[in-house]
Amino acid sequence: MLNVKKYVKENLTFILFIVLMFSFRSSVADWYHVPSGSMEPTIQVGDRVVVDKMAYTLDIPFTDISVANTGSVKRGDIIIIDSEAAQTRLIKRVVAVQGDNIALHDNVLHINGEKSKLTPLNEHVFREDILSSSRTIALNPIDSPASSFDNVIVPEGYVVAMGDNRNNSVDSRYYGFIPLSEIRGQATSIAFSVDKENAYLPRKERFFVALE
């Protein structure tokens, strides 16, 4: 029979390492596997993104209980969401925060009276600039019912989040405003990437790349 006390004593260093590692991943930093193309071209299928779990709150390890606020969600942040509405985890970009007046007209964002500027980069890819925030988005020629919506004001405690692949993303346009309480951290960089279409070979050019 296994002597538990003896086992723990002999393996205490290893056990402490495992507990600390999982505590770190639970409350400080983790990585997230990207399963879909809703954030292309910024994030591709097969990317593993680094998530700063202390960007906005400090949580008790292994729980969603917050003990301190560490930052505020800003326009342009790429966030990880435990979405109750979607019943899954999402990765999207914040396009509007509480108090913003936002509308979308034929894939052109309007926030607080400012119209986004779209600069073509190549086929179906544009640089979007609005309210001092800039990112690369895809506007593929897909007939999307979510390419327009009328003005709404983001309520307190919520944000509007959308995918950079605007016509191929299920986001706030379908699920509604995102509660701040469902945000689990900020995606800051790509740790590494594998190409699922090419025998899962590594994409060396996408190792340790900061996200914009």
pLDDT value of residue 44: 93
Return the DSSP state at 161: E
Q: Is 50 exceeded by the pLDDT of residue 206?
A: yes
Confidence bin at 29 (pLDDT 50/70/90)? very low
Cα-based distances in Å from 189 to 4, 27, 75: 41, 18, 17
- In this predicted structure, what is the pLDDT of residue 67? 63
**Nearest residue to 158 (alpha-carbon basis) of 79, 70, 58, 89:** 79
Work out the mean pLDDT of the chain and round it to a whole number.
85
Lowest mean pLDDT among 14-18, 54-58, 102-106: 14-18
**What mean pLDDT do residues 35-55 have?**
90
**Token output for 50:** 């680094």
Integer Cα distance of 13 and 7 in angstroms:
11
Question: Does residue 25 surpass a pLDDT of 60?
Answer: no
pLDDT digit string (tens) for 157-191? 999 999 999 999 999 999 999 999 999 999 999 98
% of the chain residues with pLDDT over 70: 81
Ranges of H-type helices in 11-134? 12-27
Q: What pLDDT is stored for residue 99 in this prediction?
A: 98
Measure the CA–CA gap between 189 and 178, rounded to whole angstroms: 22
What is each CA distance from 87 to 55, 104, 126, in whole angstroms?
23, 25, 31
Neighbours of 113 (CB within 10 A): 6
- Alpha-carbon separation of residue 36 from 74, 89, 173 (angstroms): 24, 11, 17
Cα 134 from Cα 211, distance rounded (Å): 12
**Closest alpha carbon to 107 in 131, 121, 134, 126:** 126
Nearest Cα residue to 94 out of 73, 125, 119: 73
State the alpha helices, DSSP H only, in 62-195.
172-175
Segment 178-206 mean pLDDT: 90
φ, ψ of residue 86 to 5 degrees: the values are: -85, -15
Encode 66-99: b = buried (16+ Cβ within 10 Å), e = exposed: eeeeeeebebebbbbbebeeeeeebbbbbbbbbe
Contact 94, 159 (CB under 8 A): yes
SS3 164: coil
Bridge partners for 183 per DSSP: 81
